[in-house]
Structure 1
Amino acid sequence: MLQKPNSHLLRRGRYSESGRAYLVTVVVYQRRPVFNDLHLGRLLVAELKQTHDSGLVDSLAWAIMPDHLHWLFELREATLSQVMRRVKSRSTLTINRARRTHGAFWQSGYHDRAVRAEEDLIKVARYIIANPLRAGLVDHVGDYSLWDAAWL
């Protein structure tokens, strides 16, 4: 028997705080490695940038892996749910249009962790941008195209 996904449990107890930094992970539906296609990854980058430029978040660091996204940002003028709904919805439309597909692009839900005040944001950012190294995708971070950090 197939187990039902537990993504609905990720929403339980979720709290958004303006000015708080969050580390969010979002996974592509069925973990398809669609971001091996650099063009599709750049479409997601454009959505992250647009969310930052609109003042909803202050984007601090991100890494787009072949089948998921890690994103560190500080909430500004929206709730965590509003930001994620917007990014997932807009990127789904844009990427599906580019792929000439339709339907679900992201898995439902997302994982988030509020970054505590005593944590060093730069350490969290380094953890994020080192993901391609740990995954064995590249030998040097600079060789990977789909990441950025505010401190660079």
Structure 2
Amino acid sequence: MTYQDALAGRVSLPQQIYHITLCTYQRQPVFTCFATGRLIALQLKDTQAQRHALSLAWVIMPDHLHWLMQLEETCSLNQVLKGVKARSAQAVNRHLNRTGPLWQTGFHEHALRKEEDIKQIARYIIANPLRAKLVTKIGDYPLWDAVWL
């Protein structure tokens, strides 16, 4: 566990499944454009390729990200999210020709308990665009994925 994790009251457990929520700075709707949202998806893919976290499900909403992931043994939860936030902020800022923060400080995490239904949580995450009335069927929303497809 890192010092930052201890300060935040977080415990990073390898192989633990977490539901993560990251919000954009001042809840700005940065990801209304598909190309900008794909930059975030690429960071999640890269994090998996580096074997820091296994992505189980994610959805990129206009002003936040929900990510169901399993932490690998190479990094703490704080390190993984710090890296995703930093790399994605660089990519998005470069793409939009902007400067400044992309994400709010910190993040919200929920460590899943053994009795929780992972697929039900994934469905809840994926259905976010439906609940937000961005689409009438999930297949119409382009910025999501799940390993169960």
Residue aligning to 1:126: 123
Residue aligning to 1:108: 105
Q: Deviations over 1:78-132 (max 9, x none)?
A: 1100000000000000000001111111010100000111111101100000000
**Using the alignment, how far apart are the partners of 2:76 and 2:57 within structure 1?**
19
Residue aligning to 2:23: 27
Gaps of 5+ in 1: 1-7
Residue aligning to 1:67: 63
Residue aligning to 2:49: 53
Amino acid of the structure 1 residue aligned with 2:123: R
Q: Deviations over 1:45-102 (max 9, x none)?
A: 0000000111101100000000000000000021100000000000000000001111
**Using the alignment, how far apart are the partners of 1:121 and 1:20 within structure 2?**
12
Residue aligning to 2:12: 16
**Using the alignment, how far apart are the partners of 1:12 and 1:100 within structure 2?**
33
- 3-state SS of the aligned residue for 1:71? strand
Q: Normalising by structure 2, report the TM-score.
A: 0.93
Amino acid of the structure 2 residue aligned with 1:59: S
**Using the alignment, how far apart are the partners of 2:82 and 2:35 within structure 1?**
22
Q: Normalising by structure 1, report the TM-score.
A: 0.92
- 3-state SS of the aligned residue for 1:59? strand
- 3-state SS of the aligned residue for 1:137? coil
Residue aligning to 1:3: none
Matched, 1:139 2:136: yes
Gaps of 5+ in 2: none
Residue aligning to 1:39: 35
**Using the alignment, how far apart are the partners of 1:37 and 1:113 within structure 2?**
28
Runs of 4+ in structure 1 deviating by more than 2 angstroms, as ranges, are none
Tell me how large the CA RMSD over aligned residues is.
1.1
Aligned residues: 143
